Amino acid sequence: MNKEISVPEARRRPFLRGCAIVAVVFAAFFVLIGLISRVDDFSLKTGDKVAVLPVTGLITDSEATIEQLKKFAKDKSIKAIILRINSPGGGVGPSQEIYEEVRKLKGKKIVVTSMGALAASGGYYIACGSQKIFANPGTITGSIGVIMQFVNARELIEKIGLKGMVVKSGAFKDIGSPVRDMKPEERELLQGVIDNVHSQFIAAVAEGRRMDRGKVAGIADGRIFSGEQAKALGLVDALGNLEDAVAEAGKMAGIEGDPRVVTPPKKKISILDLLKEEAKSIISDKLTESRFRLDYLAQ
């Protein structure tokens, strides 16, 4: 005897079939997307590439930029690297470290700089390590110079009835103290340090741009230039945007047709990472408030 099917059960079966069909369609769709992405990844890995490495904001650390430069250098499919600089400069040490790493790539990779709105002081220092520099006509660049800044709060401290006292091991140990005026011999010492670091900047520009050192020294007084002015002076090679720089880098590297452009992967940052970075930044700022810091920085 055939068992009769209840009305609710009979209605449920078409619904279940529909759900099963939808599930199969979705599964097939995701499998197809996965296959396509694998094909794309494979094609990107096998084609000749031009990598674009952004150098943006205040240059306070060189570690991340140098690490990415090394990764690009090891990738045989990357034939050229574009430094996309949009920076007012920053610390002398980090700027010099990135510059030296860029110089090491000569003979291994084509390195071209593309300047954005601003590529001054330490930003320009880094650019000088590359083989060719592009700037927009209105890019702000130059500012070849060194600066060390101090705050003197002596009068304010005296007004509120406080007095600073220091115990030191040598005459210059508290140089730049905010609680007293700077002595002539202290200013002379600091000027000597700044002049020496400034000379290093001039030498880097003269070497990187193949310019006469005397000519560089004549314009290395901290003044800024537009991209158009910089080109006339020989501080940049050509006027053009990022696309122009990519095209030129591809030609210099011998890439036929349009090069494949790649950028560093975006790092996934957790809330904990953000909190750690913020704490690190605050501690670093507090530790350096009363210390000496030389900057290649546009003011």
Give the residue numbers annotated as catalytic, written as ranges: 121, 173
| Single-letter code of the amino acid located at 29 | F
Cα separation, 261 vs 247, whole angstroms: 10
Strands (E), 181-292: 224-226, 238-239, 260-262
At 10, list the tokens: 């009979």
Distances (CA, A) of 277 to 67, 77, 270, 274: 18, 33, 11, 5
Q: What angle do CA 129, 248, 102 make, to 5 degrees?
A: 20
| Single-letter code of the amino acid located at 9 | E
Strands (E), 123-191: 132-135, 140-142
By DSSP bridging, strand 140-142 and strand 110-120 are: parallel
4: helix, strand or coil: coil
